[in-house]
Amino acid sequence: MSSILDIAKRDLNGLLGAEGLSCSCGKQHRTDLKEFIIRSGALDETPRVVRKYGGSKVFIIADKNTFAVAGQRTAALLQEAGIENTVFVFKEDYVQPTDTSVERVVADFDTTCNMILGVGSGTINDIGKLASKELGVDYISVATAPSMDGFVSNTSSMVMKGIKESVPSTVPLAVIGDLDILVAAPKRLLQAGFGDILAKYTSICEWRISNLVNGEYYCEQIASLMRLAVQNCVSHAEQLVQGDHEAVKILMDSLILSGMAMAFAGITRPASGVEHYFSHVWDMRYLEFHTPKDYHGIQCGIGTVLTVEVYDRIKEITPNVEQGLKYVQDFDLANWHQFVREYLGKSGDRLVELEKKEGKYDKEAHRQRLQVIAANWDRILQIIEEELPSAENLRRSLQIMGGPVAPPEIGISYDDARQAFLVSKDIRNKYNACMLLWDLGLLDEVVQSLWQ
């Protein structure tokens, strides 16, 4: 039996089997994605693909930029092929991936349509996938930039009632990526896609650590897909920044592979760790306080550098069980909740309520984790060494792309980065570097010494 890694190396389309793929982890891995077309002139395939999957009348969503780049042409191609369509274009300069944006699409949806076609990348795709799920219609993605890895994931990265969440959503039946359009995308969007791929270094590291500490489900085959995606992109960084068609195709294929990996696992773990939580926190603060932010992948690339620097400090630690127990015994949860509310505003209230349900700071659960951590510290250090490159190498890769490597380059102070990291353990119930340091009783000590 071929491994899913072997299949991916031969042809990514081989991962799209409707029956799923048997895996050594014991699961059947599958995705609802049926096909993806990444080549020059692929936009012309849109009418055929829409018809192939039963689209009789299509509801097109786009923003002002993506409509000009590909939406108008897409609508014309469908019309010429005899496929009716209705167009919804967000008028604002910067569309937010929020529950309100989805509500606007759902409210304006033409009920005579039986398919949504999202023309865009991160935000438009996330809104389109979630609207499709709520409306119960099929979804196809027309990608305009290789800027993020959520094209074919089974979740949408949304701000719901102020909190950045991965919300279950529709997987597109197909992705159409015209290389002539993708290559012409703003360089900042290519940098963002590259940054989102680099994040897999730390996401896989944390997935393995959580598997060891908490017994969380882990699949080595899926992890290997992510390593392949990162390796392919890093080795083509110089060609990518030059706009080489083949390099851009490799980036787009890797982003799609990342989305498939999340669908295979049924969780976002293969592609998202604490590096993403820097981005999520900055997004939440932007919506609440209008503080600086950048594209998701740009923030994730910076977050990956920050996360590796955190793990460099973790590698210097020798666990002390008594110190960890005392730290947690003395931990002032009420005071911490007050900080979360002040730092995040209204969304902080929801995080506090979620934490109360999850029992994240339960002292008996902490004691059990700490015992496992202490007993397996050498193995944790081995995982870190196996998975993470040096911060210097990460910076070099981002600099080759011409992208930012540190928070101040996008208007965010290192003090805010420290606070974002502290809050990262509260964003989702997902074990990460911040929670590991909290378990060890060293979170405050380490954070105060970071990024001076």
pLDDT 10s digit of each residue in the chain, 452 long?
A: 467 777 777 778 788 866 778 898 999 998 999 999 999 999 999 999 999 999 999 999 999 999 999 999 999 999 999 999 999 999 998 899 999 999 999 999 999 999 999 999 989 999 999 999 999 999 999 999 999 998 999 999 898 888 888 899 999 999 999 999 999 999 999 999 999 999 999 999 999 999 999 999 999 999 999 999 999 999 999 999 999 999 999 999 999 999 999 999 999 999 999 999 999 999 999 989 999 999 999 999 999 999 999 999 999 999 999 999 999 999 999 999 999 999 999 889 989 988 888 888 999 999 999 999 999 999 999 999 999 999 999 999 999 999 999 999 999 999 999 999 999 999 988 999 999 999 999 999 999 999 97
* 399 in the same domain as 300: yes
What was the pLDDT predicted at 356?
85
CATH number, residue 278: 1.20.1090
Which DSSP letter does residue 39 get?
E
Distance in Å from the first CA to the final CA of the chain: 51
* 438 in the same domain as 370: yes
Number of domains in the chain: 2
What was the pLDDT predicted at 1?
47
Tally the C-alpha atoms within 13 A of residue 329's C-alpha that lie toward its C-beta.
7
Provide the whole-model pTM: 0.94
Query: Which residue in this structure is represented by tokens 């002139």?
Result: 41
Residue 105 lies in a domain: yes
Of 164, 185, 206, the position where a domain reaches its end is 185
364-389: buried (b, 16+ CB within 10 Å) or exposed (e) per residue? eebeebbeebbebeeebeebbeebbb
- The residues, any chain, with a CB within 8 Å of residue 154's CB and separated by 6 or more, are 31, 32, 168, 169, 171, 262, 263, 266
Which DSSP letter does residue 243 get?
T
* 420 in the same domain as 365: yes
CATH number, residue 125: 3.40.50.1970
Contact assessment for residue 62 and residue 87, using Cβ atoms and an 8 Å cutoff: yes
* 311 in the same domain as 169: no
Structure tokens at 371: 């015992």
* 281 in the same domain as 144: no
Residue 234: other Cβ atoms inside 10 A: 20
Name the nearest CA neighbour of 168 among 128, 130, 124.
130
List 89's β-bridge partners, or say none.
Answer: 62
Residue 389 lies in a domain: yes
* 45 in the same domain as 154: yes
* 201 in the same domain as 180: no
157-177: buried (b, 16+ CB within 10 Å) or exposed (e) per residue? bbbbebbbbbbebbbbbbbbb
Residue 241: other Cβ atoms inside 10 A: 17
Give the torsion sign (CA, 232, 233, 235, 238).
positive
* 66 in the same domain as 201: no
Name the nearest CA neighbour of 90 among 76, 104, 103, 77.
104
* 156 in the same domain as 35: yes
* 376 in the same domain as 426: yes
Residue 250 lies in a domain: no
Name the nearest CA neighbour of 351 among 338, 367, 364.
338
* 373 in the same domain as 335: yes
Strand pairing class (115-120; 84-90): unpaired
Structural domain span for residue 360: 197-217+267-449
Residue 252 lies in a domain: no
- The residues, any chain, with a CB within 8 Å of residue 33's CB and separated by 6 or more, are 16, 152, 171, 172, 173, 174, 175, 256, 259, 260, 263
Residue 192 lies in a domain: no
* 310 in the same domain as 180: no
Contact assessment for residue 155 and residue 168, using Cβ atoms and an 8 Å cutoff: yes
What is d(CA 344, CA 288) in angstroms, rounded to the nearest whole number? 7
Residue 5 lies in a domain: no
Using only C-alpha atoms, what is the Rg of the chain?
Answer: 22
What is d(CA 210, CA 206) in angstroms, rounded to the nearest whole number? 6
Number of helical H runs and strand E runs in the chain: 23, 10
Residue 245 lies in a domain: no
Residue 222 lies in a domain: no
Taking phi over 0 as left and psi of -120 to 50 as alpha, with beta for the rest, 97 belongs to beta
